[in-house]
C-alpha cells in the first residue's frame, strides 16, 4: 500500500485505539499498535481465530509481520474483536491488501520489498470505510487513486455511490457519478444501475427516470436489473401506468422481464385495486415461461382475498402446491386474514392442521387473525382456549392480541377479571400502547361500567409511565368480580 494511504489507515487506528502519538508504517508502528491492542482484556483461546479472520496470517509485508508478531506476544483487546468495529475493519484491510507492482523502499537503513496497492485493495478499503461510517476518509482514498496511476474502476464508483446514498448524502453521490462519466470508466452500466437504485430508494423517482433516459442516450443499454429498480420505485409512488409502459419497453428492447419485475407490477396493481389486471399479468408471466415464486403467490393471494375472491385465492393456493411451490407462513396468514374477515372462521381454523402437516409454524399475526375471527363470532371461550395454546407454544402476544381479547372479554360480560389481567400486562409496556389501542380499551371498559377503574390504570400508560400498581389492578379485579357476582345474582 502506498505510504500516504497506509499512514492514514494507521493514524486513524491510533485515534480509535486512543494511542496519543502519530504512528505510521515507516516508524515502528507495529510494536506500538500491538502494545495499544494489549492494553485491554484477555482474549484467550480465540486469539488464533481472530488472526485468521483479520488476515494477519497471510500478510507478507514487513509492517504486517511485525504487527502480527507483536500481537502474538499480547492479548488482543476483546472490545476490538467485533468484526464490524472500525479498528478491526481497518486492520483487516490494511493486513489483507492484494499485491501487484513492486518497488524498493528504505526502512531502518535496510532495503525491503513492498508493493503498490491494486485497484482491488483500494476498493476493499473504500468498502469497509464506508461500512464503518468513515465517508470522508473513503473519499480521500478515492482522490488518492485519481492522483496516482491506480485508476478507479466501476466497483470503486459503486461502493462510493452506495455508501453516500445510504448515508442520505445524495449530492456527494451525484458528484462521484459525474466523475465517473468524466473519467470514461468502463462498465458504466453497473454504476448507472447503482445510481438509479440509490435515487429510487430515496424516493427521487423523477431522477431515476432521467438517469434511465440518460443511460440509453449514452449508448449504455439498461438491463433487467435497471428496469426493475425503476419499476419498483414507480410502484411505491403509485404510478402503475408508467411502470406498465416500462414493461412494454423491456419487451420492445429485447430485455426479458424476470420474476422480480412481475412481482413488483402485480403488487402495485393489487394496491391500486386493479385485481383483474394483476391476475392477467400473472397469467402472462406463466405463458412467457417466467415461473412464479412464493413471493408472487404471497402477493396475489392477499389481493384476491381483499377483493372477496376467496375461491380464486384458495384455488391459487392449491395450484402453487401442485407445481412444487411451498407455501410459507405469510401465505397461510394471508388466507387466514382473508377468510376470517369474510366470516369463514372455521375454514381459517382448518388451515392450522395443513400448516402443521407442511411443517410451517404460525406466527403472532396468524393467531391474532384466528382470535379476532372467533371473537367477532362471539366464540369467546374458544378464543380464550386458543390464547392459552398460543402461550403454551411459546408465542409472544402483542398489543393487538390484548386489544382483541379485552374487547371480546368486556363485550361478553363474563370475562371481566381476565380483561383486567390483560390490562395489567399492557400497562407494564406502555410504549406499545398507541392511540387506537387506548381507544379500544377505553370503550371496552366503559361499555361494562368499569370506566373509572380502567381509566385509573390506563392513566399511567397514557403518560408513558410503567406504574399501574398491583393494588390498583387488584382493586379493579375485585370490583369486576363483584359486578359479575351481582349480575349473576340478579333475577
pLDDT tens track for 32-89:
444 333 333 333 333 333 334 334 333 344 444 444 444 444 433 333 334 344 444 4
Averaged confidence pLDDT in the chain: 73
| pLDDT of residue 109 exceeding 80 | no
| pLDDT reading at 463 higher than 60 | no
Q: In whole angstroms, what is the distance from residue 386 CA to residue 436 CA?
A: 24
Question: What is the span of the domain harbouring residue 366?
Answer: 345-396
Q: Over the stretch 115-138, which tens digit does the pLDDT of each residue have?
A: 446 788 888 888 888 888 888 888
Residues 359 and 405 in one domain: no
Where residue 462 falls among pLDDT bands split at 50, 70, 90? low
Least trusted range by pLDDT, from 139-143, 184-188, 232-236, 355-359: 184-188
**In the chain, how many H helices and how many E strands?**
26, 2
Which position has the higher pLDDT, 157 or 484? 157
CA distance 243 to 250: 11
Shared domain check, 111 and 10: yes
Tell me, yes or no, whether 442 and 485 share the same domain. yes
Q: Which of 138-142, 200-204, 272-276, 431-435 has the lowest mean pLDDT?
A: 431-435
* 263 or 166: which leads in pLDDT: 263
More confident residue, 19 or 412: 412
**Is residue 414 domain-shared with residue 355, that is, in the same domain?**
no
Number of residues that this document lists for the chain = 491
Residue 264 has pLDDT above 90, yes or no: yes
Predicted local distance difference test score (pLDDT) of residue 307: 92
C-alpha cell at 37: 491492542
8 band by pLDDT with thresholds 50, 70 and 90: low
Buried b (16+ CB within 10 A) or exposed e, 220-257: bebbebbbbbbbbbbbbeebbeebbebbeebeeeebeb
Residue 268 has pLDDT above 70, yes or no: yes
Regarding whether 435 and 368 lie in a shared domain, the answer is no
Question: Residue 367, class by beta-carbon neighbours within 10 Å (0-12 exposed, 13-18 middle, 19+ buried)?
Answer: buried
Q: In the predicted model, what is the mean pLDDT of residues 418-447? A: 68
User: Contact 115/99 with Cβ under 8 angstroms?
Assistant: yes
Any domain includes 34: yes
Of 78-92, 110-124, 133-147, 161-175, least confident by mean pLDDT is 78-92
Say if CB 40 and CB 78 are below 8 A apart.
yes
Residue 278 belongs to some domain of the structure:
no
36 assigned to some structural domain:
yes
pLDDT value at residue 243: 96
Would you say residue 192 has pLDDT above 80? yes
Q: Which of 88, 117, 146 is the last residue of a domain?
A: 117
Least confident of 195-199, 279-283, 292-296, 453-457: 453-457
Q: Is pLDDT at 487 greater than 70 in this prediction?
A: no
Q: Tell me which long-range contacts 10-17 makes (C-beta under 8 A, separation of at least 24).
A: 10/94, 12/86, 12/90, 12/134, 12/137, 13/87, 13/90, 13/91, 13/94, 16/86, 16/87, 16/90, 17/80, 17/87
Comparing 312 with 484, the larger pLDDT belongs to 312
Whether 358 and 434 map to the same domain: the answer is no
Cell of 419: 380483561
Residue 136 located in a structural domain? no
What 456-462 contacts at long range (C-beta under 8 Å, 24+ apart), as own/partner pairs, is 457/420, 457/423, 457/424, 457/427, 458/423, 458/427, 460/427, 460/430, 461/426, 461/427, 461/430, 461/433, 462/438
Question: Residue 225 to residues 250, 257, 373: CA-CA distances in angstroms?
Answer: 11, 9, 42
What's the CA angle centered on 247, arms 328 and 296, to 5 degrees?
A: 5
Q: Does residue 77 lie within any of the structural domains?
A: yes
Q: Are residues 465 and 413 both part of a single domain?
A: yes
Handedness of CA 17, 23, 25, 31 (dihedral sign): negative
Query: What pLDDT does residue 374 have?
Result: 96
The answer to whether 78 and 97 have CB atoms below 8 angstroms apart is no
Asked, for residue 219, whether it belongs to a domain, the answer is no
Residue 435 pLDDT grade (very low, low, confident, very high; cuts 50, 70, 90)? low
Question: Which residue in 159, 165, 236, 156 sits closest to 203, CA to CA?
Answer: 236
Please report the pLDDT score of residue 198 as a whole number. 87
Residue 437 lies in a domain: yes
Residue where a domain terminates, one of 396, 424, 459: 396
33 and 103 housed in the same domain: yes
- 336 or 150: which carries more pLDDT confidence? 336
Q: Are residues 362 and 412 in the same domain?
A: no
Residues 11 and 67 in one domain: yes
pTM of the model: 0.68
Position 87 scores a pLDDT of 46
Whether residue 235 lies inside any domain: the answer is: no
Q: Which H helix or E strand runs over 437?
A: helix 435-447
Of 59 and 159, the structure prediction assigns the larger pLDDT to: 159
Cell match 432521467: residue?
210
The reply to whether 467 and 372 lie within a common domain is no
pLDDT at 256: 93
Which residue among 360, 378, 396 closes a domain? 396
Mean pLDDT of the region 261-287: 95
Position 24 scores a pLDDT of: 39
As for how many domains the chain has, the answer is: 3
pLDDT of residue 77: 36
Same domain, 405 and 483: yes
Amino acid at each position: 500500500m502506498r505510504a500516504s494511504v497506509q499512514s492514514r489507515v494507521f493514524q486513524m487506528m491510533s485515534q480509535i485505539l486512543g494511542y496519543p502519538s502519530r504512528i505510521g508504517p515507516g516508524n515502528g508502528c507495529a510494536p506500538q499498535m500491538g502494545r495499544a491492542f494489549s492494553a485491554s482484556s484477555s482474549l484467550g483461546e480465540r486469539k488464533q481465530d481472530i488472526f485468521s479472520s483479520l488476515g494477519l496470517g497471510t500478510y507478507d509485508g514487513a509492517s504486517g509481520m511485525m504487527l502480527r508478531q507483536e500481537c502474538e506476544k499480547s492479548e488482543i483487546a476483546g472490545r476490538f474483536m467485533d468484526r464490524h468495529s472500525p479498528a478491526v475493519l481497518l486492520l483487516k484491510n490494511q493486513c489483507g491488501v492484494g499485491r501487484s507492482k513492486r518497488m524498493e523502499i528504505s526502512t531502518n537503513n535496510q532495503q525491503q520489498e513492498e508493493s503498490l496497492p491494486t485497484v482491488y485493495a483500494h476498493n476493499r478499503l473504500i468498502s469497509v470505510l464506508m461500512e464503518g461510517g468513515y465517508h470522508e476518509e473513503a473519499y480521500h482514498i478515492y482522490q488518492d487513486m485519481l492522483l496516482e496511476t491506480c485508476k478507479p474502476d466501476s466497483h470503486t464508483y459503486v461502493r462510493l455511490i452506495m455508501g453516500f446514498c445510504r448515508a442520505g448524502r445524495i449530492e456527494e453521490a451525484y458528484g462521484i457519478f459525474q466523475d465517473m462519466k468524466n473519467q470514461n470508466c468502463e462498465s458504466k452500466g453497473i454504476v448507472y444501475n447503482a445510481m438509479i437504485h440509490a435515487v429510487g430508494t430515496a424516493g427521487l423517482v423523477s431522477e431515476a427516470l432521467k438517469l434511465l433516459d440518460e443511460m440509453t442516450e449514452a449508448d449504455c443499454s439498461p438491463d433487467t436489473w435497471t428496469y426493475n429498480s425503476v419499476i419498483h420505485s414507480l410502484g411505491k409512488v403509485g404510478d402503475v401506468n408508467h411502470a406498465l409502459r416500462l414493461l412494454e419497453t423491456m419487451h420492445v428492447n429485447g430485455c426479458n422481464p424476470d420474476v422480480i419485475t412481475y412481482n413488483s407490477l402485480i403488487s402495485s396493481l393489487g394496491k391500486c385495486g386493479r385485481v383483474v389486471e394483476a391476475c392477467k399479468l400473472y397469467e402472462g408471466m406463466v405463458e412467457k415461461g417466467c415461473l412464479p415464486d412464493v413471493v408472487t403467490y404471497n402477493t396475489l393471494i392477499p389481493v384476491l382475498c381483499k377483493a372477496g375472491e376467496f375461491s380464486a385465492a384458495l384455488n391459487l393456493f392449491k395450484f402453487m402446491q401442485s407445481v412444487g411451490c411451498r407455501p410459507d407462513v405469510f401465505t397461510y396468514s394471508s388466507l387466514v386474514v382473508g377468510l376470517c374477515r369474510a366470516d369463514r372462521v372455521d375454514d381459517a381454523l382448518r388451515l392450522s392442521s395443513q400448516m402443521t402437516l407442511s411443517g410451517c409454524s404460525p406466527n403472532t399475526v396468524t393467531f391474532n387473525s384466528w382470535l379476532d375471527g372467533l371473537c367477532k363470532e362471539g366464540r369467546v371461550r374458544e378464543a380464550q382456549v386458543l390464547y392459552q395454546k398460543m402461550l403454551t407454544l411459546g408465542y409472544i402476544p402483542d398489543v393487538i392480541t390484548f386489544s382483541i381479547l379485552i374487547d371480546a372479554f368486556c363485550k361478553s360480560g363474563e370475562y371481566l377479571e381476565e380483561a383486567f389481567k390483560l390490562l395489567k400486562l399492557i400497562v407494564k409496556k406502555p410504549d406499545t400502547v398507541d392511540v387506537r389501542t387506548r381507544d379500544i380499551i377505553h370503550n371496552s371498559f366503559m361499555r361494562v361500567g368499569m370506566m373509572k377503574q380502567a381509566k385509573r390504570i390506563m392513566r399511567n400508560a397514557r403518560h408513558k409511565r410503567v406504574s399501574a400498581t398491583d393494588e390498583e389492578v387488584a382493586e379493579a379485579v375485585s370490583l369486576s368480580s363483584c359486578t359479575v357476582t351481582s349480575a349473576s345474582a340478579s333475577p
